[in-house]
Every structure is written in C-alpha cells, then in structure tokens.
Amino acid sequence: MKVTRGMLHPELRLKGTVIRKVFNFKTEKNFQTTAKLVRKVMQGKTSAVIDCQERMMIKNDGQKLRLCLYQSHSPKKNATGVLWFHGGGYATGVPEMDLAYYEKMIATSNCVIVAPDYTLSTEAPYPAALEDGYAALLWLKEHADELGIRSDQLFVGGDSAGGGLTIATVLYARDQGEVNVAFQLPMYPMIDDRMTTASMVENDAPIWNERSNRVAWAMYLGELTGSQEVPVYAAPSRETNYHGLPPAYTFIGTVEPFYDETMIYIKQLQEAGIEAQVDVYEGCFHGFDIIGRKAAVSQRALDNMMRAFKEATDAYFAKQRD
C-alpha cells in the first residue's frame, strides 16, 4: 500500500511528511546505532508524577534481567499487575521510553507496572526476548504480595514489537499453564513475519514501513528468516488456535503496515469467543499516539485506550466480588 501525503490524517500530515524524509530504518546498522543511542539517552530516566524503581531478577541461565517498576507514590493494595513491553522492532528501545503510558495508566487505575529490559535482537535473536518476557511474567506473579497486586489480576501489554511480545507471551502462558493472564493490550502489534497483507506490501508510511519491517524481522528471527517453520511464539499471526486467550483491546491507524494483521488478530479472537475490541483511526501512521502526542486524534486514541484499560480492571474486580 503506497501512502500518499493526502492519505495522512490532517493533524499528523506535516509531522508525518517531515519524519518520512529524515527518519527511516533501512539497514541492520541503522537499528544497531539507534539501539545504542536510545539506551544512552533514555535508560535511567524517571518521572516526577510516579514512583520509578529498578529491580534485578536472575534468569534460569544465571543472567540478570533488569526490571523497571512503576507505581503510584501512594500505592494501594489489591492493584492490577501490568507487564509492559516497549516497542522498537524487537531491535531497539528500553522500558523508560514508555513513561508517558505508565503515567496515564497509573493515573487511570490502581496498578503496578513491571517493564522488562528484554534482550534485543541486536544482542540475540528469538527466543531470547520471549524467554525474558515470560520470566518477567512469572516474577510478577511470584512477587504479587510484595508488590500489593492480585496474582489473579495480571495484565500484559505493549506497543509495536512490544505488542507482538504481548501476544506471544499470553500464547506461551496459555500453553504452559503456569500463570493466568486476565487481559491483554497489544497496541498496533508486530506479529506477522510473512508480510503478505495488503496494508504491508509496498507500505511506505512514516516511522515504520515494509522495508524497516523486513530488516527488523530478519534480525529477530535470525536463521529462521524465510522458514515455513517459524514458531507461533515468534510470529503469533501463524497461530491457528486462539481459544483460551484473555480479552483484548488495541487501536490501529489505517495507513500503517500492521493494520491488516491487527484487524485479523482481533477477528480471530472474536471468532474464538474472546471479547476483543479495536479502535481504528483514519489516516494515522505507526506510533502516531507517541510521535504526534499533542494532536487531538492522538489524545482521543490514548483516552480510549485508558478507558478500555480502566473498564477491564473495574469489570474484573466486579466479577470477583460477585
């Protein structure tokens, strides 16, 4: 899908046009350079409005995994535990990138957020990130009492590649049977390595497009690239059984490459009897809610996301009371 300037949302058109000219991931080296820069600039960043801490967990292989813990300055008991994965094409990023999400979620509902600094594909390909994500989910459950959260009220969410890890993690958790996930928030997720949908083919939208997506998938899959045997935990769109997954909410822009795979995922959940909702924003490109945060359409998208998050939390607690 070729994306013309006129197809972009009016509130995002100027920014999108400029970004498309100067910001484009074309090679593995671009990702490597960006990963180093983002870590240097963002790691350790804190917020004045929420409490930010770091924890270290020891993985099964003896290596350490950095966890970023976010909660209210005045925490309350029986909070929702949220495992959150940052985006970045599986190749770049740190948890601190999504501070704006954490602030809004904590202001919206009584929750504690744990964001793992999962292994990027610039360091190791799949399954490293998934293993880190699932380990962090188990850690969240095991430390529920300490964190003041309910072990039966665990949400998983993330944006872009983080949305992909969200779905991969809930699939893996369902199949392992060790922890139940109550709700998922896979925001405009990166989940299909085959790249054959109409919204993906020849997509040249701002921020993320077919070319950047192809490079990122090759880095993430490594030797599995191009294989017909790519695991569903690497590319969740390859899954055929969606029964037993938690309810879901997401939103998506119509001109971004992940539009079709997101809509297909939500439809598959619904066909499996899972409550799933998607809000669609005309003319919005990948990550528009972050890149164009001040735009009215971005504010509307974020408000609707937070409304869905709060409704999911409130509905689950009401069900438990009943």
223, 287 contact by CB (below 8 A): no
19 vs 260: which has the higher pLDDT: 260
State what percent of residues in the chain have pLDDT above 90.
88
Pairwise CA distance, residues 31 & 92, whole Å: 7
How many residues can be counted in the chain?
322
Q: DSSP letters of 31-58?
A: HHHHHHHHHHHHTT---SSSEEEEEEEE
Contacts of 189 (CB under 8 A, 6+ apart): 158, 160, 163, 164, 166, 167, 236, 250, 258, 261, 262, 265
pLDDT digits (tens, 9 = 90+) for 109-145: 999 999 999 999 999 999 999 999 999 999 999 999 9
Residue whose tokens read 């820069």 = 37
Strand partners, 67: 55, 116
Residue whose tokens read 């997720």 = 189
Report CA torsion sign: 232, 128, 200, 308: positive
For residue 205, what is the enclosing H or E element?
A: none
Q: What is the pLDDT of residue 224?
A: 96
For residue 213, what is the enclosing H or E element?
A: helix 210-221
Q: DSSP letters of 299-311?
A: HHHHHHHHHHHHH
Q: How far apart are the first and last CA of the chain?
A: 48
**5-321 is a CATH 3.40.50.300 domain:** no
pLDDT digits (tens, 9 = 90+) for 73-106: 999 999 999 999 999 999 999 999 999 999 999 9
Q: What is the dihedral of CA 118, 122, 126, 130, to 10 degrees?
A: 10
Pairwise CA distance, residues 172 & 285, whole Å: 29
Question: Domain ranges in the chain?
Answer: 5-321
| pLDDT above 90: residue 26 | no
Pairwise CA distance, residues 255 & 283, whole Å: 6
